[in-house]
Structure 1
Amino acid sequence: MIKTENLVKEYNEKKAVDNLNLEVGDGEVFGFLGPNGAGKSTTILMLTGMIEPTSGNCTIQGVNVALNPLKGKEILGYLPEDVGFYKNLTGYENLDYLGKFYPLTKSEREERIEILLKSVRLNDVPQKVGEYSRGMNQRLGLALALLNDPKVVILDEPTANLDPEGVLRYREIIKKLEKEGKTVLICSHILSEVRAVCTTLGIISQGTLVARGSVEEVEDELILQSNTSQKIVIRSINPEVYSFIESISNPEILGVERIENGVEIRVKKDIRESLAEELKDKCFGITEMYLDRPGLEDLFLKVYRRE
């Protein structure tokens, strides 16, 4: 589990993180989002024990990483945005050397390295890391983050340099970690990737968590914050459906508009279930009903460009 309590980090009396309260449960794959300068990187550096908080606490599996950073690193796997390796060593040699910092026997370490290099498709690569592409370097970084079989994994922009095949392998690895009950925190600007692998999202703004929940719940929150309406579209062979929908009294309905072969309903939230109940015994010849709502990327940009 990852937990922060009233976490604060100040630089020159300016708060980069401001009373952040965040909890990521066991087995949760959590997407950590926010605009540049929102406090994401500062939060991650505190969670990994690389910088100390000004006040408040952050714990990994109950370990206060500021007070006991070495213990925190034993149970944590971390992939930074810019991962570095010894360029004069091969991928295997890098992992073998760095793996000696963990409480692994030689045979355990060798077995883990073989499995991980195969999972990131670097097991048959003989050249030294100095000859790696950026994508290969990123994949080796993912293998390093998992070398100690951590209970908690923090990944900062994990797909930034990956090609499409690398992205697919990364998704498979995240799904495997989820099945194993690992806690994973993913910080990324690629919202489509976050949506593809994360079970829950959290959005940080000006150092404070402003939205948290499932993808759908966070989208609903951003819709409210951006004053963006969503629409339910109903297609029907009977034009009388417009008059019927207009007569419905529901505080979630913001407006009704007639369109070709149907009606468009602006709503505060998805009310298709209640609408279907209202329409089920009526002979309006409904052929289609769907929710038309802006995507996570559009909502994110609209809220934070305004901010």
Structure 2
Amino acid sequence: MPSPAILIENLTKSYGTLRAVDSLTLEVNEGEIFGFLGPNGAGKTTTILSMLNLVIPDEGRVELLGMDVTKEPIRIKERLGYLPENATIYGELTAWKNLEFFANFYRMSNAEKERRITELLKMVGLWEVRYRKAKTFSKGMKQRLLIAQTFINDPELLILDEPTSGLDPEGAHLVKRLIREAKAEGRTVFFSSHVLSEVEELSDRVGIIVKGKLKAVGTLGEIKRQFMELEGYEIKVETKEPLPEIEHPEITRVEVIQPNRAIIFARTDIREDLSRYLSEKGLTILRLDIEEPSLEDVFLRTIYGRDGE
């Protein structure tokens, strides 16, 4: 079994009386896209900075690419690409010079640097403005340049904090394409985002952190199933004929939409029982399925306990 790309064990960090991260344990597999979610102040940034050895935890340990971040920070940085949420660029330098500056931190020949910078500027759509000073760029163009900078050392692991922040739809689409391509090339991507649809669209697995604690982790399907087991099931039923009165010990509420359509709220998945009951009544079943919650439902209702309040 290969080592996980990210291994976090019992990570704990406090600032005075505030416990920013509380006994967090997490594994991220090689080659997967992992979405990291949480409200403001949940501990996302402290977790990421601990992963990068920029914050020293009170307890716990972090390994990236099989290396302890406190023992081999230089080797890790050579294989890592990091995009902070509020990263800045050198406004007085051109797009080309910005990337050249960061390429100089890595062991590259001049020919390799030129090839890599050319490739990246074309990749993020900035080739035509490569000799313009970065201070003249729009916010979206600056973010594209920062993303190119993140890829400068051809990293195996990408840690991206709000990578589509400030981008227009075209720019956001580009970043999402680059994340998918990174996975296709065998890279591991760990990213945080406030855009739930983006996390749902891109992630192989998701972790949700609240008040420093990891509340849920798994595939979207796994997390949604956990949610339904806690919150109950919404079963949509539609028949050709009018529905009879439906009773079952697991039903908590029935919401009639039309004489032949209803939503049944139940503690467990009772579709098999409903199917049998309706068939015995001689009804033709047109629809009998579960309304799967969205990631937004899970995030708001499970994490906050109420619909976004």
Q: Same-fold call, TM > 0.5?
A: yes
Equivalent in 136, 141, 150 of residue 145 of structure 1: 150
Alpha-carbon RMSD: 2.5
> In 1, are the aligned partners of 2:224 and 2:292 still within 8 Å (CA)?
no
User: TM-score, normalization: structure 1?
Assistant: 0.88
User: 1:1-307, aligned counterparts within 5 Å?
Assistant: 1-125=5-129, 126-222=131-227, 227=231, 229-240=232-243, 242-243=244-245, 246=247, 251=250, 253-260=251-258, 261-268=260-267, 274=272, 278=276, 284-306=283-305
- Which deviations, in whole Å up to 9, do the C-alpha atoms of 1:167-217 show, x marking residues without a partner? 111111111111112111111111111111111100111212110011232
Q: 2:162 corresponds to which letter in structure 1?
A: E
Preserved CA contact (<8 Å) 1:78 1:154: yes
Partner SS for 2:127:
coil
Secondary structure of residue in 2 paired with 1:102? coil
Tell me whether 119-128 or 287-296 shows the greater mean CA deviation. 287-296
- Does the C-alpha gap of structure 1 residues 180 and 232 become closer, same or farther in structure 2, counting only changes over 3 Å? same
Alpha-carbon spacing, 1:298–1:51, altered in 2? closer, same or farther (3 Å): same
The whole-number CA distance in structure 1 between the counterparts of 2:194 and 2:47 is: 16
Question: Aligned-pair distance for 1:163?
Answer: 0.5
CA gap 1:33/1:270 in 2 versus in 1, 3 angstroms: farther
Identity %: 40
How big is the shift at 1:218?
Answer: 2.1
Higher alpha-carbon deviation: 293-302 or 135-144: 293-302
Q: Which residue identity lines up with residue 136 of structure 1 in the other structure?
A: M
In the TM superposition, what is the alpha-carbon distance from 1:164 to its structure 2 partner? Answer: 0.6
Question: Deviation per CA, 1:111-156, whole angstroms, max 9, x where unpaired?
Answer: 2222221121111113211111111111111111111111110100
Residues of 2 paired with 1:96 and 1:120: CA distance?
16
Opposite residue 257 of structure 2, the aligned amino acid is I
Structure 2: segments with no counterpart, 5+ residues: none
Contact 1:8 1:55 in 2 (8 A): yes
CA distance in 2, matches of 1:40, 1:275: 43
Tell me which amino acid in the other structure corresponds to 1:210.
K
How many angstroms apart in 1 are the aligned matches of 2:40 and 2:305?
Answer: 14
State TM-score, norm by structure 2: 0.87
Gaps of 5+ in 1: none
Number of equivalenced pairs:
299
TM-aligned CA distance change 1:155 to 1:279, over 3 Å:
farther
Compare 32-41 and 259-268 and name the one that shifted more. 259-268
